[in-house]
Structure 1
Amino acid sequence: MAEQHTPRSLIVTFYGAYGRERPGPVPVSELIRLLAVLGVDAPSVRSSVSRLKRRGLLVPARTDDGSAGYALSDDARQLLDDGDRRIYDRGSPLLSDGWVLAVFSVPEAERHKRHLLRSRLGRLGFGSAAPGVWIAPARLHEETRHTLRRLQLDPYVELFRGEHLGFAATEEAVARWWDLGAIAKEHDEFLDVHEPVLRAWSAGHTGTPEDAYRDYLLALDSWRRLPYVDPGLPAELLPEGWPGGRSAEVFARLHELLRDAGAAFVQS
């Protein structure tokens, strides 16, 4: 299945990779130029920037020469900082690290927030252990706390840390809490597209900085979703032949090979 790279997602990915390093706002004209390399036209860039502004992630500002530009909001920087820990520091999770539980109760008069809570916890990588009880590896508790506070959902939730004591074996329970087959498919699709790119660069592909920028941004835009689909479960709880480690290694190698070369194109 072909990957989908939306203009809005690519803009967030650009800011995460390169835009937040700038001392000032990114000029709109530069965003248009850099997104054009990825096949995004100027009207799509402008409309996507407007949506991100309405969501409070980008704030309008003038550059030193008076050009119109956009900088990251404080909320956006927090989101990107939280994302860095997932995207670049997967590590080797241990079963002994335990779990974080999110237990929520929403009054019937505010039941729309119940759906929002379920949706947001799912997007953070939580699995559903029981009605109103969601579970994730314990290392996700700080990001969960930041997210629920930012969305003003924290009054409805209690967070706990602990271990699973049964009655089913934890490996069996995990297979109920998460759709492991669907997660594995996401990793396989990432590998189908980006493993050949890694092979080409590793074999001495003499691409330009623009090629490196394009290949890196597309890989990062695809990869940054995966650590939220896959919360990083301990290896002993995963099926044999789990592709997550391989896809993480492919992205790590692409990051090592292409990120700085892409930065040279951005700075030019």
Structure 2
Amino acid sequence: MPVPRSKSLILDIYGGFVRHLGGWIAIAHLIRLMGDLGVDEQAVRSSVSRMSRNGMLVRRERGSQVGYEVSDAAATILDEGDLRIFAGGMPARLEDGWVVATFSVPEADRDQRHQLRSRLAWLGFGNLGAGVWLAPRRALSRIREAVEELGLSAYVDLFEAHYRGFDEVARLAERCWDLEGLNQRYAQFIQGALPVVGRWRDQTSGDDRAAFVDYTTILHHWRKLPYLDPGLPQELLPARWQGGTAAGLFSEVLERLEKPARRYVEGVVTRR
């Protein structure tokens, strides 16, 4: 698996642990946890400083301790992310059809246009053509909320549709999403997660620190995959699809390691 970036690992720690402990952590304790993950103090302080300037973290002092909590905007992103990362959703049904989003945002608002494209991709939409995006119909309510939140409802049209074209629906899906590339990423995740899961299957008890390291590492590498997966109907997926196997491994990691990992973090943050 690729080496994680310190900023991403900090978000993993806040999202996976700190939010459940009041949302604030002393910088000394964050440095300790990041050290367990192989990140040195200077890299942590540099990343925290950038994240604070970017509005993701907010500095707060508690007594003699200096620490940080996630901003309201970052907390919303983490909450929404939980729905994708931990939901383990079922594939969409082909008979339910599609939602089609078309838009034409003026050049003067190109920053908002970029935000809209990013949000469409985040919600699992695939690009069918210039200004035309496609997703399973169940994404309709979420894209409506996103468009209204961005203030772009005057430039976006949404349709419910069924494909009546001349190509096979599976080939249409291949044009909109890089399913083979996603399948390879799932396979890479499995390759990295299997040895970790295998070690813990063979143990009746384990070290909480080791559980924290393994859990956070697996969470980090899983986190992006649900955002790349549009949740297409089973009939449209490539042969030997790895998504189900990968999701099963991630669920096993949660079951085996989440509690001892949280226990370890609680021990670190309550230590004076």
TM-score scaled by structure 1?
A: 0.89
- Structure-to-structure mapping, 1:177-192, within 5 angstroms: 177-192=176-191
Residue of structure 1 in register with 2:270 after alignment: none
Q: What is the Cα deviation at residue 149 of structure 1?
A: 5.7
- Structure-to-structure mapping, 1:1-268, within 5 angstroms: 2-63=1-62, 65-93=63-91, 94-111=93-110, 113-144=112-143, 156-204=155-203, 206-268=205-267
Taking the aligned partners of 1:51 and 1:150, their CA distance within structure 2 comes to 26
Alignment RMSD: 2.2
Amino acid at match of 1:221: H
Task: Give the percent of matched residue pairs that are identical in Structure 1 and Structure 2.
Answer: 42
Aligned CA distance change for structure 1 residues 51 and 162 (closer, same or farther; 3 Å): farther
Give yes or no for contact 1:212–1:261 (8 Å, CA) kept in 2.
yes
Q: What is the Cα deviation at residue 155 of structure 1?
A: 5.4
Aligned CA distance change for structure 1 residues 49 and 230 (closer, same or farther; 3 Å): same
Q: How many residues in Structure 1 have an aligned counterpart in Structure 2?
A: 266
Aligned CA distance change for structure 1 residues 31 and 122 (closer, same or farther; 3 Å): same
Q: What is the Cα deviation at residue 39 of structure 1?
A: 0.5
Aligned CA distance change for structure 1 residues 73 and 99 (closer, same or farther; 3 Å): farther
Taking the aligned partners of 1:47 and 1:34, their CA distance within structure 2 comes to 16
Give yes or no for contact 1:90–1:232 (8 Å, CA) kept in 2.
no
Amino acid at match of 2:240: G
Q: Which runs of 5+ in 1 are unaligned?
A: none
Match of 1:134, SS state, is: strand
Q: Which runs of 5+ in 2 are unaligned?
A: 268-272
Aligned CA distance change for structure 1 residues 138 and 32 (closer, same or farther; 3 Å): farther
Give yes or no for contact 2:57–2:69 (8 Å, CA) kept in 1.
yes
Aligned CA distance change for structure 1 residues 34 and 143 (closer, same or farther; 3 Å): farther
> 46-55 or 215-224: which moved more?
46-55
Aligned CA distance change for structure 1 residues 53 and 174 (closer, same or farther; 3 Å): same
Taking the aligned partners of 1:37 and 1:153, their CA distance within structure 2 comes to 44
Q: What is the Cα deviation at residue 44 of structure 1?
A: 1.2
Q: What is the Cα deviation at residue 41 of structure 1?
A: 0.9
Amino acid at match of 2:19: R
Aligned CA distance change for structure 1 residues 150 and 19 (closer, same or farther; 3 Å): farther
